[in-house]
Amino acid sequence: MKRLFAVLLLAGSSLLVSAQPYPNKPVRLVVPFAPGGGSDTVGRLLAQRLSDSLGVAVVVENKPGAAGVLGTEFVARAPKDGYTLLLADSPHTFNHLVLTKVPYDPLKDFEPIAVVARTPLVLAVPVKFSAQTATEFIAMAKAEPGKLAMGSGGNGSIAHLAQELFKLQGAVQLIHVPYKGSGPAISDVVAGQIQSILTPAPGVVPQVQGGKLRALAVTSDKRSVTLPDVPTFVELGFGNLRVYNWYGVLAPAQTPPEIIAKLNTAIRDVMAIPAVLERLNGQLLEPINSTPQEFKALLERDAQTWANIVKTAQIKPE
């Protein structure tokens, strides 16, 4: 009898816990990259503040591997209960186009919650390079097709795809030089080993401010507060060259809408905290406060844009 009572008591306790409003236990925020990068920085800042907003621990779990695919697949296959989330970035929308093994659909297998930050890309050259402006750089590239080199953080990276978009928009021929990460590529531009790079701002702005690189253009909608004297590609006549590396939070597909709504509200509360905005700005990231619907529209738009670029540039999966 006592044993039966104990079983009934345990069952009742389990039902009580499950009946409690979300969240009632720690939440995992999976960062599909190693500690120390941009995604990790954003994820840890967000998790710290979300813990206060949600009233439970939000723990960052790094799951690096295969350009973010391993951690992303882990979240896609996780229970649809709001306790396992993904901190994604822009390549989420095109990895399946440039990598051979991506076992999930970037749109169908996830529920968008919120975009939290974004950063544009910067076209930069060595400070002693003869082209002083983007217009001069483009003229030089057209005068000597296939002679100027532009580095990237690797084949299929956002820098590579943005470079292909630039080449198509500007009708210029550049030699793409892929590196194993943006750091070595930037170092070679500083050293004058290659002539240019088009890469996310956090990697090059310190070099520009330190007088080692010259910024010629940015891919943002309007001029950067950090680089107010540098024109946008839009100003230069490249109307479609608006490219950002963004960071956003996703849940597994079919996560209940009430959970998505609660998480979105919590994230938007976090994104209104002055200290969070200051920290992101200090990392050269523009804070974003979005709805799930706005994030969904961004995902769909980016997926279509990059699909067109990959097809036109004939980029093959690796």
Give a yes or no: residue 63 inside a domain: yes
For residue 16, what pLDDT is reported?
46
The range of the structural domain enclosing residue 106 comes to: 23-119+245-313
How far is Cα 249 from Cα 258, in angstroms, rounded to an integer?
A: 16
With respect to residue 274, please indicate whether it lies within any of the assigned structural domains: yes
pLDDT at 302 over 70: yes
pLDDT in tens, 147-176: 999 999 889 999 999 999 999 988 899 999
Residue 31 makes CB contacts below 8 A (sequence gap 6+) with: 39, 40, 43, 60, 61, 62, 63, 71, 87
Residue 3: inside a domain: no
* Mean pLDDT of all residues belonging to the chain: 92
84 in a structural domain: yes
For residues 256 and 114, membership in a common domain is answered with: yes
Cα(303)–Cα(268) distance, rounded to whole angstroms?
24
Q: How confident is the model at residue 37 (pLDDT cuts 50, 70, 90)?
A: confident
Judgement on whether residues 178 and 149 belong to the same structural domain of the protein: yes
d(Cα 245, Cα 78) in Å, to the nearest integer? 25
Q: Decide if pLDDT at 1 tops 70.
A: no
Over the stretch 114-137, which tens digit does the pLDDT of each residue have? Answer: 999 999 999 999 999 999 999 999
Domain count, the chain: 2
Compute the distance between CA of residue 221 and CA of residue 314 in angstroms, rounded to an integer: 27
Q: Indicate if 62 and 107 belong to the same structural domain.
A: yes
Residue 24 has pLDDT above 50, yes or no: yes
132 shares a domain with 108? no
Question: How sure is the predictor about 14, in pLDDT bands with cuts at 50, 70 and 90?
Answer: very low
Residue 6 within any structural domain of the chain: no
Q: Tens of pLDDT along 79-107?
A: 999 999 999 999 999 999 999 999 999 99
Question: Could you tell me if 315 and 95 are in contact, meaning their C-beta atoms sit under 8 angstroms apart?
Answer: no
Residue 15 in this model has a pLDDT that exceeds 80 = no
- For residue 72, what is the domain's CATH number? 3.40.190.150
- Tokens standing for 50? 């979300």
Q: Are residues 114 and 28 in the same domain?
A: yes
267 and 211 in one domain? no
Domain match, 255 and 299 both = yes
Q: Based on the domain organization, do 78 and 97 belong to the same domain?
A: yes
Are residues 105 and 147 part of one domain? Answer: no
Q: Are residues 104 and 142 in the same domain?
A: no
Global pTM value? 0.87
Q: Do 162 and 115 share a domain, yes or no?
A: no
Q: Is residue 233 part of a domain?
A: no
pLDDT at 284 (0 to 100): 87
